[in-house]
Amino acid sequence: MDLDYSPDDVEMQDPPPEALSRLRPRKPPSSQAVTTEESPFWTDPSHRTPVPERPAPPVSSSLKQPMKLDPRNNHVGQPPGFVRGTAPLVRETGEERWKDGVLSGSALIRMLEDLSRDTKREHWQICVLLDGFAAKFGRFHNSDGLIVADKYETYMLMLARKLWVDEKGEFAGGDVLWVPGLEPRAITDPNWEASARLSLPDLPIKHYQPPWLAAENQYMHRVMQRPQKGEIVYKGWVDDMKQERDIREGEKIDQDTLSDDPLVSTSNTE
């Protein structure tokens, strides 16, 4: 069988000259010439414009050392938790009313809630007295001023605050006990603490002190709202800390019938 090797075979033909010209790489125009030499602007430092150095900002003397915050001051008041100057023991103003002192409502709430959750028997004893004091006012508020009736209550409240401060530590040292400016006018018994301890009630061996809850014992009792007791003797009193308070006098309650009041939180015994 004969094979035809004629030049008419397309694959065997050489490409025409015009086709070869299309395959040759074109020389780039002078405007697009690429060079491998680095520009002297980047390599020669003499061509660079120096950037002026900015002076460092002055360092404040207060920033050279860590700031030390001193929460102490010469006042007492809200909020609790800060170490403040101790409130005066006796009244330093010329106010003659309510000579046995006016208690801050917020102090009574904090002492009752904290001490009733402890397990020390002495704390439970003072809670029985504090609960009876709170029951005279029924529903009261943090900002209310609660009038103390006599020296017995004054010393009882001072002992309660001492026990509370000992339990809470130094962070309770400056918290308000009395309404600023309405502290007791005088402390006539130099041994008031011993006298107050002798007045603590005896508790049964199996006594249990339920935790005192402001929501339950101060405002609501189950579904019934605790009523206010006593009367407001001065509305909008401005104390020495420029805080307005309602000064309230408690209801006269017979201690023998106190446990019969369904709204009074009494201690349970087994």
pLDDT band at 217 (very low <50, low <70, confident <90, very high): confident
Query: 233: domain range?
Result: 102-269
pLDDT at site 256 = 53
Count of structural domains, the chain: 1
pLDDT at site 30 = 53
CA distance 104 to 161: 12
Residue 257 within any structural domain of the chain: yes
pTM for the structure as a whole: 0.63
pLDDT at site 218 = 85
Residue 63 within any structural domain of the chain: no
Residue 64 within any structural domain of the chain: no
Tell me the residue type at 89: L
Residue 258 within any structural domain of the chain: yes
Residue 237 within any structural domain of the chain: yes
Q: What is the mean pLDDT of residues 71-95?
A: 59
Residue 254 within any structural domain of the chain: yes
Extended strands (E) in the chain: 102-104, 145-147, 207-208, 220-221, 224-225, 231-238, 244-249, 268-269
Residue 181 within any structural domain of the chain: yes
Residue 4 within any structural domain of the chain: no
pLDDT at site 112 = 95
